[in-house]
Amino acid sequence: MARFIRTVLFLPPGVEQDEVTEDMILPGSNIVVGPYAGHSQIKEVEFVKSSAKAKDCPKDDKPEFAILGRSNVGKSSLINALVRKKEVALTSKKPGKTQLINHFLVNKSWYFVDLPGYGFAKAPDAAQMNWSTFTKGYFLNRETLVGVLLLIDASVPPQKIDLDCANWLGRKNIPMTFVFTKCDKMKVSKGRRPDENIRNFQELIRENYNKHPPWIMTSSVTGLGRDELLLHMSQLRNYWDQ
Ligand code: GDP
């Protein structure tokens, strides 16, 4: 058990390994809740701007979380579930906005950033290049980035395009959380269950990370992981803020 905890759990700021008890671990995740966890619900969301480059993004030094994933991963559904408003994700789905960095101000205090998806699984290389030149610039230059939420569809086996993205973020030491989507899809007739896909995914990316990143299971259909993800974000944000 001790070894399991040391290699697998995500310890937030303010928590030591030996003080972790089971009730501090968020269900369906490897995330420990620490002293910085606090107010987490989203009361108010305001679209601020769409930017073509990192240098055009808002400059008021508020902490931000970026949300990223392959097309069809369930990003709009998750944003709607977190925010409980339909129009938020829809704004960035308008033609022309999907290739931009879209900033939303939450509770007047932090940003939720919707990044361009990295194409369909079968997208031509050109679409992926487009992602790499411009979204990578954002990751490398955005000082107020508290964390990236990388969305991974847990109802399918690990996809190369997701592994490439996870490995790149890991190698660059960009703080990130794996948010596994569609975890309600337990009854697939063929293939593996979400928990097996999740385990396989983590084994495939392990060597690119010094520390095991936080991960969490979610479903926009059942609400699984919603409050837990918001709480996790609150502790990272509050630590960053102080
Ligand atoms: P996006 O392209 O990443 O914004 O993906 P969407 O949110 O539009 O979702 C893509 C598809 O996956 C839609 O058919 C959704 O109904 C479905 N989907 C999204 N989230 C979930 C989920 O949590 N569970 C299940 N079963 N389906 C989901």
Taking the centre of ligand 1 as the mean of its atom positions, its distance from the CA of residue 78, in whole angstroms, is 8
β-bridge pairing 45-51 and 110-114: unpaired
**Over 60: is that where the pLDDT of 2 sits?**
no
Quote the mean pLDDT of the chain. Answer: 85
**Over 90: is that where the pLDDT of 14 sits?**
yes
| CA 144/CA 124 separation, integer angstroms | 32
May I ask the CATH architecture of the domain 45-241?
3-Layer(aba) Sandwich (3.40)
| CA 219/CA 222 separation, integer angstroms | 6
Residue with the smallest CA separation from ligand 1 atom 25 is 182
β-bridge pairing 64-69 and 176-181: unpaired
**Does residue 230's CB lie within 6 angstroms of at least one atom of ligand 1?**
no
**Does residue 217's CB lie within 6 angstroms of at least one atom of ligand 1?**
no
**Does residue 71's CB lie within 6 angstroms of at least one atom of ligand 1?**
yes
| CA 180/CA 61 separation, integer angstroms | 29
* Amino acid type, 213: P
Predicted TM-score (pTM) of the model is: 0.90
Of 67, 70, 71, 72, the one to substitute when testing ligand 1's pocket (max ligand atoms within 8 A of C-beta) is 72
Structural domain spans, the chain: 45-241
Residue range 70-122, pLDDT digits in tens: 888 999 899 989 988 655 655 555 555 567 889 999 999 999 999 887 754 44
- How many residues are present in the chain? 242
With cut-offs at 50, 70 and 90, classify the pLDDT of residue 143: very high
Closest CA to 236 of 166, 165, 177: 177
